[in-house]
Structure 1
């Protein structure tokens, strides 16, 4: 049996993270059955200045880049379709703070549902157009991945748990991660950004080959 560790830094309001995680999961599913892959999700803030009520994504993009959002959305949506995801970014107009969702994901590590929960939250945001800053919405998702509802609500109200998540997200940026998705394989190899599907297939094969050689 071979073991492979993937550390995955994402934010749940990042469309490239939706696509990148899907491509990673597809590459993992194509590995031989004797390969065990441990994906650990880590928090990152795409925009740490997002206000509590969120902001309108299209307005933010116009202000930041001086371009119409559709120009940028077309590329993302095209890449999503290439991965079988029918993404329409115009249907989720607002971006929200993500500390609560990240905290649920972080603490789901011991439940063995962490990566699946992270995927479910980002899917709910982009594909179901849900408000993932809402405690009730997040609790609805969390109960499908090992949480009792009251437990999930308590986690999201815990300042210490939220503070630890915030510190980890800030630390990731200070360590040099400037954008997500960001992937680290076996603590030796890194990919920054959303690569084509075959790139994920190649890097997993290379990491496993190097592990064998070592």
Structure 2
């Protein structure tokens, strides 16, 4: 008998550990399938909601935010690159040049997640394209040109996406969802919430995700959901 789990993946485009966490979760789902399947929903979280569209130099940003030195940042960047490589995700060896505002990307992801409009996991596809554009290709997720290209690559309506970017569609929805998760105590990402009650924090190893998915799927129905 197949168990279907709802998974809310709370994350930001500018978070490298979110890209790693998604790759690990995908591998875990492949391992537990077909007895366990998942409905993935990507939820917005902004690590730097006040970041201007033009962004900030990444070394300057990390030094100001975390007090790390360029040498420490280089070590962390290499560890992230190697972890990603082990999961099949490519981070540029030189890392990111800048960090950018991601609010418009989240608006597009929210639109792409409207299942009645986009059945078949196109939100998932868009999320992966956005991670690739930023971390692999070194492009700005605040750039409307980059966003529209990822929309096209994901098979979504470029004309409608352009209209969303030119206006304020879904801005209130995204802010409401962000507030929902922060009010619930989520202040770091990735945060993976299964069946709206089981929280897995951070980019866990594939084996950890596999164990959690199997345990939750095997639990009685009244223990899986609210």
Shared fold per TM-score greater than 0.5:
yes
Taking structure 1 as reference, are residues 170 and 89 closer, same or farther at Cα in structure 2, changes over 3 Å only? Answer: farther
Contact 2:5 2:39 in 1 (8 A): yes
Moved more, 139-148 or 184-193: 139-148
Contact 2:148 2:162 in 1 (8 A): yes
* 1:191 shift after superposition: 0.7
Tell me, yes or no, if structure 1 residue 133 matches structure 2 residue 134.
Answer: no
* 1:6 shift after superposition: 0.4
Once residues 162 and 99 of structure 1 are traced to their aligned partners in structure 2, the CA distance between those partners, rounded to angstroms, is: 8
1:198-213 map, 5 Å: 198-211=207-220
* 1:89 shift after superposition: 5.9
Q: Map Cα deviations across residues 50-80 of structure 1 (whole Å, 9 max, x no partner).
A: 1121111111111222222213223322322
Once residues 180 and 145 of structure 1 are traced to their aligned partners in structure 2, the CA distance between those partners, rounded to angstroms, is: 24
1:133-212 map, 5 Å: 133-211=142-220
* 1:130 shift after superposition: 1.4
Once residues 89 and 192 of structure 1 are traced to their aligned partners in structure 2, the CA distance between those partners, rounded to angstroms, is: 26
Q: Secondary structure at the match of 2:10?
A: strand
Tell me, yes or no, if structure 1 residue 73 matches structure 2 residue 65.
Answer: no
Once residues 12 and 213 of structure 1 are traced to their aligned partners in structure 2, the CA distance between those partners, rounded to angstroms, is: 34
Gaps of 5+ in 2: none
Match of 2:86 in 1: 82
Match of 1:63 in 2: 64
Moved more, 145-154 or 97-106: 145-154
Tell me, yes or no, if structure 1 residue 7 matches structure 2 residue 11.
Answer: no
Taking structure 1 as reference, are residues 193 and 29 closer, same or farther at Cα in structure 2, changes over 3 Å only? Answer: same
TM-score by length of 2: 0.87
Match of 2:107 in 1: 103
| Number of residue equivalences | 214
Taking structure 1 as reference, are residues 47 and 182 closer, same or farther at Cα in structure 2, changes over 3 Å only? Answer: same
TM-score by length of 1: 0.92
Once residues 56 and 36 of structure 1 are traced to their aligned partners in structure 2, the CA distance between those partners, rounded to angstroms, is: 40
Q: Secondary structure at the match of 1:90?
A: coil
Q: Map Cα deviations across residues 124-154 of structure 1 (whole Å, 9 max, x no partner).
A: 1101111211112111111233422111111
Match of 1:118 in 2: 127
Contact 1:156 1:162 in 2 (8 A): no
Gaps of 5+ in 1: none
Runs of 4+ aligned residues of structure 1 deviating over 6 Å after TM superposition are none
